[in-house]
Amino acid sequence: MLQSTDGHASSHFVTSAGKRSAISMKSILSFVVAAVLAFTIFSCSKTEVDSIDPNGTGGLTLEFDNYVGGTNMALGTAQYKNTAGESFTVTTFNYFVSNIELTKEDGTVVKVPNSYYLVREADPKSLNVALTGIPQANYAKVAFTIGVDSLKSQAPVTERTGALDTGSYGTDNMYWSWNSGYIFMKLEGISPASTISGKAFQYHIGGYGGGFQGAARTANNLRKITLSLGSTSAKVRAATTPTVHLIVDAAKALGGTNTISFATTPTVHSPALAKPIVDNYVNMFVVDHVHND
Amino acid sequence: MRLVRKVLRVVMVCTLPAGISSCSNQSEVALDTPAFTVPKNFPAPVYALDRNRITAAGVELGRMLFFDARLSRDKSISCAECHSQPYAFTHHGHDVSHGIDNRVGTRNSLPIQNLAWSNSFFWDGGVLDLDLVPVAPIENPLEMDETLYNVLEKLRKDSTYPKKFKAAFGTEEVTTARFLQALSQYMLTLVSANSRYDKYVRNEGVTLTADELAGKQLFVQKGCANCHAGELFTDNKFRNNGLSLAFGTDLGRGRITEAPQDNYTFKVPSLRNVGVSFPYMHDGRFRTLEAVLDHYAEGVTETPNLDPLLKQNGRLGIPMTAGEKAQIIAFLKTLTDEEFLKNPQFIQK
């Protein structure tokens, strides 16, 4: 059985076949043969996906492609406009992606253990999150948390390694030392509308809902994002490492549910104040397409 | 015999669940230093000692770091600058502490003592794990104004530190966790439990004067012990003790939780060594214990979230006569621990 591995080729195939539904069996057969031939010749991706080894594992890559509206993100130079009509440039765009879950076509959920990644626009390597040891299957959904869960936010220092190493950030800090916790999302830039020094704006979003002795807890800005992979499932096999290409629109953090103005809110540095941005940024991730190669 | 004991301890440590993974590294570390013991009159520590086993080499490394000005951006100030031993590791005489470039902080530095019994840190409890405490002053622009990343890089390039890390943790690798754990190990050894009061309650042949004993009784009767509770002389809670807002509107715990009911509440500080840790309150507004007791007697102001214990039967504050105040102060001074304030082990040689 031949399986299409390319989303576009696959959808053309279905549409074309549908138009010919009233035509004779012979015609259909010859069309199928032609389509298969054309597909085989013109498709640049691999046409065969090996079968699932029920005990086997493979890899899957999440590619985070940062945009501002319809325009690719370029730090420092590119001019953008927010929904308040204020122009701006972006100097920093970082976020934590954690607790990744993949849902198989049959609904089984696979949790990727100890998955904590820091995506930084300034660090191209970080834009591709390569997961390994994933059970071979066809996956229909991906889910993750923006930020660092409360358990890990309170974990011993010896368990804070990799992206969670508080000593690894340097001047591009992703950790609040005065109110212990990670900065889940950081969006900084320059806007003529800003009212603070250097016309800067700084949005540092954190807050894991930490509590203490039954007293008030800090705001909980942890959000889980669940995304369908659409018509093309991610087919994890021994020799196939699918890439889920996500478009991440930073402009959505600034508008949508709540309009964020650089003039009225040039900085956010605490959990409760961050909520309007959190309510926006839950909508900034979209799955664009899946490559099974 | 000494060797046998040492080997036995290695075996014991290695059989502990927490010690298993790091067993091979830790076995080289000197083990026969009782740097941390729980005083007889103290409760069980809350710090997870099994996660960061205190060793002589770890304490030595932590002490070196505590006294090392390289932890600040321009190598001008160390932790010890604002945490000076003769004043119970506070910034002697400063209302609010002074940091780098003579920048002025917003709060009075708290004593560093008995931290193994504390479950929150700083006046606002913004940090809940001792191991994460040093990151705050290092990265605060008004204090050491440095990044933790740069500090570790400086230590890695140093000729001595990697060897010290090896002695403490088994290899020369300088990591965030090791750096922080070494500082914790040193700070955990700063136990103050040998004041005249301690020796009195432990029946170690010390007697208190009549005034001190009367003060001890008043301390309970007047309700001081409701908040300054137990042998640590704090309930570790956050309370608004009715300070007027004339000296600023620091939200205290409210800054952390952003919850209105926490505004103007601050951590109840321990009263151990209170006789030498002046000035008092989060902003250091009171220079003397007399001024503090005058505040509780006549100065309590009804600000939002005032602790109900300071407004009983419609009266603000705690009624005290001049004689009662003097006796309470006499008692508080029995909490001064000269051995702690002068212990040469705590100083970098």
Regarding whether B40 and B174 lie in a shared domain, the answer is: yes
Main-chain dihedrals φ then ψ at residue B138, nearest 5 degrees:
-60, -45
Distance from C-alpha of B125 to C-alpha of B119, rounded to nearest angstrom: 9
Residue B182 lies in a domain: yes
**Structural domains in chain B (count):** 3
Regarding whether B186 and B126 lie in a shared domain, the answer is: yes
Q: Please give the residue that has the higher pLDDT: either B272 or A50.
A: B272
Report pLDDT for B257.
93
Residues sharing a CB contact under 8 Å with residue B115, sequence separation 6 or more, in sequence order: B47, B121, B130, B184, B187, B188, B190
Report pLDDT for A50.
81
Residue B305 lies in a domain: yes
Q: Please give the residue that has the higher pLDDT: either B35 or B188.
A: B188
Report pLDDT for A212.
75
Helix (H/G/I), strand (E/B), else coil: B148: helix
**Is A216 near chain B, with CB under 8 Å?**
yes
Picking from A160, A177, A180, the nearest residue to B128 by CB comes out as A180
Q: How many angstroms away from the CA of A226 is the closest CA of chain B?
A: 29
Residue B268 lies in a domain: yes
Which of B121, B156, B191 is at the close of a domain? B191
Chain B residues whose beta carbon lies within 8 Å of the beta carbon of residue A272? 258
Report pLDDT for B57.
97
Report pLDDT for B112.
96
Regarding whether B108 and B214 lie in a shared domain, the answer is: no
Q: H or E element: which one contains A7?
A: helix A7-19
Residues B172-184 have a mean pLDDT of 98
Nearest residue in A to B153, CA atom:
A167
Strands A80-81 and A285-291: unpaired
Distance from C-alpha of B16 to C-alpha of B221, rounded to nearest angstrom: 45
Q: How confident is the model at residue B155 (pLDDT cuts 50, 70, 90)?
A: very high
Q: Is B29 a residue whose pLDDT tops 80? A: no
Q: Is B121 a residue whose pLDDT tops 60? A: yes
Q: How many angstroms away from the CA of A86 is the closest CA of chain B?
A: 29
Residue B101 lies in a domain: yes
Nearest residue in B to A169, CA atom:
B149
Q: How many angstroms away from the CA of B177 is the closest CA of chain A?
A: 5
Residue B346 lies in a domain: no
Regarding whether B77 and B46 lie in a shared domain, the answer is: yes
Report pLDDT for B2.
43
Report pLDDT for B17.
39
**Is B125 near chain A, with CB under 8 Å?**
yes
Residue B344 lies in a domain: no
Interface test with B, best of A177, A208, A217 (most B CBs within 10 A): A177
Report pLDDT for B30.
43
**ipTM of the shown complex:** 0.85
Regarding whether B232 and B111 lie in a shared domain, the answer is: no
**Adjacent-strand bridge partners of A67:** A72, A249
Residue B108 lies in a domain: yes
Regarding whether B68 and B15 lie in a shared domain, the answer is: no
**Is A166 near chain B, with CB under 8 Å?**
yes
Nearest residue in B to A274, CA atom:
B258
Q: How many angstroms away from the CA of A150 is the closest CA of chain B?
A: 13
pLDDT along chain A (293 residues), means of 10: 37 36 52 53 54 96 97 96 97 98 98 97 98 98 97 95 96 94 98 96 95 78 97 96 98 97 96 96 98 93
Helix (H), strand (E) counts: chain B? 15, 4
Cα angle A53-A54-A56, degrees, rounded to a multiple of 5? 60
Domain harbouring B145, CATH code: 1.10.760.10
Residues B270-296 have a mean pLDDT of 96
**Is A264 near chain B, with CB under 8 Å?**
no
Report the amino acid identity of residue A255.
G
Nearest residue in B to A215, CA atom:
B262
**Is B180 near chain A, with CB under 8 Å?**
yes
Regarding whether B139 and B109 lie in a shared domain, the answer is: yes
pLDDT digits (tens, 9 = 90+) for B68-99: 999 999 999 999 989 999 989 998 778 777 78
Distance from C-alpha of A14 to C-alpha of B239, rounded to nearest angstrom: 68
Report pLDDT for A48.
59
Asked if the Cβ–Cβ distance from A156 to B151 is below 8 Å, we say no
Q: How many CB pairs below 8 Å do chains A and B form together?
A: 94
Residues B58-74 have a mean pLDDT of 96
Regarding whether B139 and B260 lie in a shared domain, the answer is: no
A196: number of Cβ within 10 Å: 11
Report pLDDT for B105.
81
Report pLDDT for A11.
35
Asked if the Cβ–Cβ distance from B128 to A213 is below 8 Å, we say no
Q: How confident is the model at residue B14 (pLDDT cuts 50, 70, 90)?
A: very low
Residues sharing a CB contact under 8 Å with residue B66, sequence separation 6 or more, in sequence order: B78, B79, B80, B83, B183, B186, B187, B348
Chain B residues whose beta carbon lies within 8 Å of the beta carbon of residue A171? 147
Is residue A211 within 8 Å of residue A106, measured between CB atoms?
A: no
**Is B65 near chain A, with CB under 8 Å?**
no
Regarding whether B117 and B265 lie in a shared domain, the answer is: no
- B/e letters for B163-200, b = 16+ CB within 10 Å, e = fewer, are ebbbbbbbeeebbbbbbbbbbbbbbbbbbbbbbbbbbb
CA-based nearest residue to B252, from B272, B237, B267, B233: B267
pLDDT digits (tens, 9 = 90+) for B227-239: 999 999 999 999 9
**Is A151 near chain B, with CB under 8 Å?**
no
Q: How many angstroms away from the CA of B207 is the closest CA of chain A?
A: 37
Residues 295-334 of B with CB under 8 A from A: none
Regarding whether B141 and B92 lie in a shared domain, the answer is: yes
Which of B172, B191, B210 is at the close of a domain? B191
Is residue A257 within 8 Å of residue A79, measured between CB atoms?
A: no
Q: Is B243 a residue whose pLDDT tops 80? A: yes
Q: Which domain holds residue B25?
A: 1-32
Residues sharing a CB contact under 8 Å with residue A174, sequence separation 6 or more, in sequence order: A94, A96, A118, A182, A183, A186
**Is B259 near chain A, with CB under 8 Å?**
yes
The domain spans of chain A are 7-42, 57-291
CA-based nearest residue to A212, from B131, B235, B111, B84: B235
Tokens representing A27 are 């015609």
Residue B262 lies in a domain: yes
Is residue B143 within 8 Å of residue B122, measured between CB atoms?
A: no
Is residue A262 within 8 Å of residue A82, measured between CB atoms?
A: yes
Instruction: State yes or no: B14 annotated in a binding site.
Output: no
Report pLDDT for A34.
55
Nearest residue in B to A271, CA atom:
B258
Regarding whether B96 and B79 lie in a shared domain, the answer is: yes
Regarding whether B306 and B320 lie in a shared domain, the answer is: yes
